[in-house]
């Protein structure tokens, strides 16, 4: 993906924000794409990209294939995030994906640095559990990173888990180089320096600590974009839903009592549980019902002269 003009990133940020807000209002995605194309700045290439996304959405119901077909406009990371949100298996919310892309586009419009973009994209992958293998490959495909950055990103797969993430930043920073040159003025780094002095100081201060504190410090001190947090389970919302169900049950019971007091027949349809309202198919649903058969009368054996049952001295011949 080539670096686009600032106008393109501003329109992208507006595009992702508008989709997120209108989806929350209940508008269908195809209708949103049809209308938002008229709102975008016509001097940019985004309206043409949106028209292609609208056609793909009508055909398949997804927009990620259209974004993948336009690698000259959308970055591999943007396509990767949308694909994860549209996947049938997974808990990554589409609203969360749009918010991540909106903040990334705003950061690009403000003048993104490779270090800041790397930290933002890596934190987005880690917090939302999108998968390091495919996520790092998508990050390496961005033209914002040069060959040294791509080599560094490709080595992270073998280093993550074995080396602290703060150390991975610290040893590639200018602060680490200055500390080494205090002891050896002629020291030359083995690998290219990718992070500045401030990133190195912050990384050194967070060695051995939770990486979330490192990300938060970089956002406060250096103005890196903040990755949106995944939505937490709210106990208050669950209690409200439970209270609504209890109120409905109480209303149904009151209706039954009123019918009994007034001498009316009880309408069981008000309290009966329908199959589509349950969490699943009831036990025994669809099983063939067998009616109990009356017992057959016992067959009386022939009796002899004394009235006792006659014994049969008969044996089947052996087989074969």
266-299 pLDDT, tens digit per residue, is 566 655 656 555 555 555 555 555 556 666 555 5
- Asked if 93 and 233 count as a contact pair (C-beta separation under 8 A), the reply is no
C-alpha–C-alpha distance, residues 65 and 72, integer Å: 14
How does DSSP classify residue 269? G
pTM of the model: 0.71
Domain that holds residue 250: 235-267
Number of structural domains (the chain) is 3
Same domain, 136 and 225: yes
Same domain, 14 and 86: yes
Same domain, 9 and 45: yes
Same domain, 67 and 102: yes
Residue ending a domain, choose from 214, 232, 250: 232
Same domain, 103 and 120: no
- Asked if 114 and 149 count as a contact pair (C-beta separation under 8 A), the reply is yes
Same domain, 153 and 121: yes
- Please check whether residue 316 lies inside any domain of the structure: no
pLDDT greater than 60 at residue 57: yes
- Please check whether residue 45 lies inside any domain of the structure: yes
pLDDT greater than 90 at residue 213: yes
Instruction: Give whole-number Cα distances, 43 to 46, 61, 69, in Å.
Output: 9, 28, 21
Same domain, 61 and 140: no
Same domain, 26 and 57: yes
7-35 pLDDT, tens digit per residue, is 999 999 999 999 999 998 888 888 899 88
Same domain, 99 and 10: yes
């Amino acid at each position: 993906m080539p670096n686009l003009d600032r106008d393109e990133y501003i329109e992208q940020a507006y595009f992702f924000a508008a989709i997120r807000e209108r989806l929350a209002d209940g508008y269908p995605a195809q209708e949103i794409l049809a209308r938002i194309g008229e709102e975008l700045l016509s001097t940019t290439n985004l309206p043409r990209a949106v028209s292609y996304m609208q056609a793909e959405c009508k055909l398949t119901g997804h927009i990620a294939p259209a974004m993948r077909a336009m690698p000259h406009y959308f970055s591999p990371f943007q396509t990767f995030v949308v694909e994860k949100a549209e996947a049938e298996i997974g808990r990554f919310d589409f609203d969360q994906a749009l918010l991540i892309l909106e903040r990334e586009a705003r950061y690009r419009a403000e003048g993104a640095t490779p270090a800041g973009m790397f930290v933002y994209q890596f934190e987005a992958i880690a917090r939302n559990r999108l998968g390091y293998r495919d996520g790092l490959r998508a990050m390496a495909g961005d033209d914002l990173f040069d060959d040294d950055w791509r080599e560094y990103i490709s080595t992270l797969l073998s280093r993550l888990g074995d080396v602290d993430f703060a150390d991975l930043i610290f040893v590639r920073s200018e602060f680490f180089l200055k500390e080494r040159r205090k002891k050896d003025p002629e020291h030359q780094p083995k690998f290219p320096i990718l992070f500045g002095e401030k990133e190195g100081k912050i990384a050194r201060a967070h060695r051995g600590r939770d990486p979330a504190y490192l990300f938060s410090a970089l956002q406060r001190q250096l103005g890196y974009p903040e990755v949106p947090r995944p939505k937490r389970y709210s106990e208050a919302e669950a209690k409200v839903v439970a209270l609504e169900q209890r109120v409905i049950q109480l209303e149904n019971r009151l209706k039954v009592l009123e019918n009994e007091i007034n001498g009316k027949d009880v309408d069981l349809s008000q309290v009966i549980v329908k199959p589509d309202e349950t969490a699943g198919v009831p036990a025994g649903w669809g099983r063939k019902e067998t009616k109990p058969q009356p017992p057959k009368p016992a067959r009386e054996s022939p009796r002899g002269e004394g009235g006792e049952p006659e014994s049969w001295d008969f044996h089947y011949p052996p087989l074969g």
